[in-house]
């Protein structure tokens, strides 16, 4: 039976992460640093969505 480790950091809601993504893009085109932050937020958003699906199941 596979064991799923708990995340090292608490998972924020997809809504909260999405708000950060929208704020990042609101300033216009992303800088290289902004692109890195955007990638981090996408990974966090995906984890938050998965957590919501698991919690709903």
Mean pLDDT score of the chain, rounded to an integer?
A: 85
Q: In this prediction, what percent of the chain has a pLDDT beyond 70?
A: 77
pTM confidence score: 0.74
Question: Are the C-beta atoms of residues 20 and 45 closer than 8 Å to each other?
Answer: no
Residue of higher predicted confidence among 9 and 25: 25
Residue of higher predicted confidence among 1 and 40: 40
For residue 36 the two structure tokens come to: 């890195």
Q: CA angle at residue 50 from 52 to 53, to 5 degrees?
A: 40
pLDDT bin (cut points 50, 70, 90) of residue 32 is very high
């Amino acid at each position: 039976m596979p064991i799923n480790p708990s995340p090292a950091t608490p998972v924020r809601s997809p809504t909260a992460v999405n708000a950060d993504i929208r704020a990042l893009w609101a300033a216009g085109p992303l800088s290289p640093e902004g692109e890195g932050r955007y990638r981090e937020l996408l990974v966090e958003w995906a984890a938050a969505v998965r957590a919501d699906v698991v919690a709903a199941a």
